[in-house]
Amino acid sequence: MRPYYIFSSGRIMRRENTIYVENEKGEKKALPIEEVESLHIFGEVEMNTKFLNFLSQHGKPIHFYNYYGFYSGSFVPRSKNISGELLVKQVEYYLDNEKRLYLAKAFVEGATFHMLRNLRNYDGTEEFVRIISEEQAKSFEAKTVPELMGCEGRAREAYYQAFNTITSGRLAMNKREKRPPKDPINALISFGNSVMYSVVLSEIYKTELNPTISYLHEPRERRFSLSLDISEIFKPLIVDPIIFKLINNSMLKEEDFEDELDFCYLTSSGKKKFLKEFEEKLETTIKHRKLKRSVSYRTLIRLECYKLIRHLLQDEFYKPLKAWW
């Protein structure tokens, strides 16, 4: 099984046990349901409740992105992996300040570790490494989640300032701007983070975790905030190296970006180039030190979910992933 990314506009429907994607020209592509891990919709696609019920029966999530490629929302089937005991534990660990802070610190530790890992691969980043290391040390001593978020925010600000050094100014970025991104690097970061968020959500869905209960980010209406927590570890590990590769190897060109009213975003060709590298990264395998077998980056995300479950059930303390390869 693998995810499918739908860029063409048209219709998507079910016929027996097959998904059919029909574009505006009437051309159809068949996707056997057994081969589909999830669907990512970037075009304007019509569908009906019969199709959504079909996805729900087979446990297939579908993620939607707007015209600019930013995450809009998901249809997540009713979970078959339900655990009342785990749900109670998730809430308990959120309500207990000490328990919540421990997990929040672990997510920040994993994120800053991978930021530093990236920077140490490039010359001229020593000052940024120093700032991030100082904020990482402060995060260990934080007494509240807002204080911890402040440390993480300052570390990430220094990290993004290093992007111009890493890319030798090929696509300059003044500062991190999310809403809206105003330059190609900001557009790449926003797009990559959106896709990362939905992939993490798909992996959470395969476990008994409730994706709405989180520890670093505040749980809020209309968002799966646990996916934001876990994504913090994997954005610098997966998304950012792809950005560096695409820019430094001149794999992206001016026509892969569109500027519109002080708003920069990836064209369809740019999105496809990023997603090709993204999928290759997710399927790349490494030898797991504990499992003694090769696992993919995608599997590492789900293993992170299982580690969190074991912590909540008090089987073992949660330690964030820190790439050793």
> What residues form the annotated binding site for Mn(2+)?
152, 217, 232
Annotated binding site: 152, 217, 232
* Displacement of CA 85 from its chain's centroid (Å): 27
State the residue for tokens 């995300």. 301
Query: Residue 14 has which token pair?
Result: 């079910």
Give how far Cα 197 sits from Cα of 41, 94, 144, 233, 294, Å.
Answer: 14, 21, 25, 11, 24
Query: CB within 8 A of 89, min separation 6: which ones?
Result: 312, 313
DSSP 258-307: EE-SS-EEE-HHHHHHHHHHHHHHHH-EEE-TTT-SEEEHHHHHHHHHHH
Starting at the edge strand that comes first in sequence, how are the strands of the sheet with 28-32 ordered? 28-32, 18-23, 10-15, 45-46
* Displacement of CA 38 from its chain's centroid (Å): 14
**Is residue 237 within 8 Å of 298, Cβ to Cβ?**
no
Q: What gap in Å lies between CA 114 and CA 192, rounded to an integer?
A: 16
